[in-house]
Structure 1
Amino acid sequence: MPAAVLALSVTVTVAGCAGTVTGGGAAADRPAAVGAHGASATAPGTAQAAPGRTSADSEASGASAPALLPGLGARTRAEIPANARQVLLVTGQGKNSSDSRVVLYRRTGAGWEPGATWPAHNALRGWTDDHHAGDLRSPIGVFSLTDAGGLLADPGTRLPYNHSGGFTIGGRGFEGEPLAGSFDYVVAINYNREPGTSPLDWTRPLGADKGGGIWLHVDHGGPTHGCVSLEEEHMKELLRTLDPDQHPVIVMGDAESLER
């Protein structure tokens, strides 16, 4: 294992990005996928569009179908719930790359309308459709976004927000960058976790071996253990935009995998 990986593991346990945190909080390590490639698409608390039909198809009912989300193949589109009106599309540069691009789309009567495009980081070793604890890859799939929290006060999100000292983190990342402030704002990605709970909740419906603690969080300037990280200003904008009434989901993976 590279020395940089060993250094980070001292302060962040191999449990997704939400590793060891101080101040009374617990690591958030768990999975509940809407439609994770390679994982059960019927995990507890999940929803899925009918097989072979896209969310746009489900809504069309005779009218012209809304434009499809770009870069997604039939299998990926079929995993997006029919009621989703907000999609955060995270496209990795490559299967083994830790660099990504993020676009937040909202569905209108005319189709999927893109918002701003943001740079992001994902896991050190890229992506996988069979995520396990400690593999240093981000899980590929479609996951609901229902819960948020952070070390700092709620910036104005509609999602349930857990303001807690449990989001404190120290140490340094894979490239020697300080991790302090990474969990100032987080959104739990519903991979191996119970929706409707704090991001700090430890429940892992698919078992501990399937990893968890996969969050959107503040970027610290380098690769993550498994999370997706955005600049602080973009995390705040995301938190203010996500609306539980719009049933937001994240679609995440490397470009080639998402095209399936």
Structure 2
Amino acid sequence: MSKLLRFISDNRKKSIIITASCVVLCAAAVGILIHTNDKNNKTKENKVVLTDVKKEEPTSKTTEADSSKENAQTEQAAVKPESQFVEQKFTGKTTEVVNFRENPSDTETVISKLKQRTIVEVLGKQQDWYKVKYDSKEGWINSKYLNEYTADDKKADEDAEKKQQEALAAAQKSEEAKKAAATSNASQANPSTINNTQPATPAPEVKKGFKSPQLSNSSQIILVTTSSMSSSYANIKFYQKNGDDWTIKTETNGRVGSNGLAYISNRMQSTDKTPAGVLGILGAFGVSDNPGCKYSYTKVTDNMYWDLNSGSSTYNRLIYSNPGGDYEHLASYPTHYKYALITDYNVNQTANKGGGIFVHVNGSGGTAGCVSMPEAQVKDLITWVNPTKNPKILIIPISDLGKYWY
């Protein structure tokens, strides 16, 4: 028993020491484990942070790139240049009736309407508009209504005009020859028999001249003849009567309506036809000063309009304010209306018959219903006509000459 107690006592000290050693070793192991775990957790946290930063970097770069692109597009839109005017120089012709505007837009003010095949000087282009010069004025025409006026076009027009004038001259010469032959045959007719020894009484000489009652009291006639009712080319003669003799003072070529002639009784507004028949003279006007006209002469100012609104109280009259609708602004035609005579066509203001039928200076082609001729001849005409001589304007196709002329 004593041995057992002694054994236990001796081993108790060793157990305590062993136990204490185990406790220390366990504590050390636990400390090492805790330290290792903390280190691993920090490493993981660092990796996560690094990974997140790497993930954020491309996003930031992408955002900056998008922002730069948007800024570039905004700047490009801001500095996008407006349409530029490009200078171009050539002669053009209108392909149909077109508005001649103050600025290149369909909503801009219309200076005037240009007829088909009107010749203009092209100055340049901006987008779909040509800047042109016409009748001393600059304006704009939509490019889809304008083509280049080539040398071939010019030659074709000259050839056509030449043929028209030749046909007109030939027709007039033939008509005069027929009248001369008829007069000669009448004067040579001798109904005497073989047994009649008395000489035949000579037929009275027939003076050449105008025989229409409408012209009987006139001693000044402006004769305008065309080769046909559809021709826009005319031969024009100024006849003056001295005693019983009619003589030609001036002869020139001119133009009438672009669609030819229409007899006064049938003529309607906006047909581009010149009234055929006998017209009187009411007065004159012009952009230039009075050259010496014996009629009342009005100097054109910017506020002068010819009212063509059918049914208006001032229809076919000169007025001093814009009536709107259908009208002519006289100052817009400084070439045509440098000098002009006013005829008495539709002086009674019959609805839809039209008006504003003048004798004026040539433009680039046929007229809208007027008679035109070179400037020198218009000036000569305006200073020559005298209201005391009751001048008349006779406009006819050459085939009608026999109705008015002996």
Q: Out of 292, 297, 310, which is 1:161 matched to? A: 297
- Residue 214 (str. 1) matches residue 357 (str. 2): yes
| Cα drift, residue 3 of structure 1 | 4.2
Counterpart CA distance in 1 for 2:249 and 2:225 is: 15
Counterpart CA distance in 2 for 1:134 and 1:91 is: 22
- Residue 245 (str. 1) matches residue 388 (str. 2): yes
| 3-state DSSP of counterpart to 2:214 | coil
Question: Which ranges in structure 1 are unaligned for 5 or more consecutive residues?
Answer: 15-62, 70-76, 171-178, 194-204
**Aligned-pair RMSD on alpha carbons?**
2.6
Counterpart CA distance in 2 for 1:98 and 1:169 is: 25
| 3-state DSSP of counterpart to 2:399 | helix
| Cα drift, residue 131 of structure 1 | 0.7
Paired residues of 1:90 and 1:253 also in contact (CA < 8 A): yes
Counterpart CA distance in 2 for 1:162 and 1:131 is: 27
Question: Which ranges in structure 2 are unaligned for 5 or more consecutive residues?
Answer: 1-93, 101-109, 116-203, 305-328
The answer for the alignment partner of 1:95 in structure 2 is 229
Q: Out of 68, 76, 80, which is 2:209 matched to? A: 68
Q: TM-score of the superposition, structure 1-length normalised?
A: 0.64
* Structure 1 stretches of at least 4 aligned residues deviating more than 6 Å after TM superposition: none
Cα displacement string for residues 129-180 of structure 1 (whole angstroms, at most 9, x for unaligned residues)? 111001111000101113111111100111111112136444xxxxxxxx54
**Structure holding more helix per residue:** 2
Paired residues of 2:97 and 2:113 also in contact (CA < 8 A): no
The answer for the alignment partner of 2:242 in structure 1 is 108
Counterpart CA distance in 2 for 1:222 and 1:190 is: 24
The answer for the alignment partner of 2:148 in structure 1 is none
The answer for the alignment partner of 1:227 in structure 2 is 370
Counterpart CA distance in 2 for 1:12 and 1:212 is: 17
**Structure holding more strand per residue:** 2
The answer for the alignment partner of 1:141 in structure 2 is 277
Counterpart CA distance in 2 for 1:210 and 1:79 is: 24
Q: Out of 109, 120, 123, which is 2:254 matched to? A: 120
The structure with the largest alpha-carbon Rg is: 2
Counterpart CA distance in 2 for 1:145 and 1:64 is: 33
The answer for the alignment partner of 1:74 in structure 2 is none
The answer for the alignment partner of 2:97 in structure 1 is 5
Paired residues of 2:287 and 2:334 also in contact (CA < 8 A): no
Q: TM-score of the superposition, structure 2-length normalised?
A: 0.42
| 3-state DSSP of counterpart to 1:120 | strand
- How do 1:166-185 and structure 2 match up within 5 A? 166=304, 168-170=330-332, 180-185=334-339
Counterpart CA distance in 2 for 1:227 and 1:249 is: 15
Counterpart CA distance in 2 for 1:95 and 1:7 is: 28
Counterpart CA distance in 1 for 2:228 and 2:215 is: 26
The answer for the alignment partner of 2:218 in structure 1 is 84
Paired residues of 1:148 and 1:161 also in contact (CA < 8 A): yes
| Cα drift, residue 258 of structure 1 | 3.9
Higher relative contact order (CA 8 A, sep 6+): 1
Work out the number of aligned pairs and report it: 185
| 3-state DSSP of counterpart to 1:135 | coil
Paired residues of 2:97 and 2:114 also in contact (CA < 8 A): no
What is the letter of the counterpart of residue 86 of structure 1? Q
Change (3 A) 1:101 1:78: same
Cα displacement string for residues 92-138 of structure 1 (whole angstroms, at most 9, x for unaligned residues)? 12211110011000111142111121110100010011110011110
The answer for the alignment partner of 2:267 in structure 1 is 131
- Residue 150 (str. 1) matches residue 286 (str. 2): yes
What is the letter of the counterpart of residue 141 of structure 1? G
State the identity %: 24
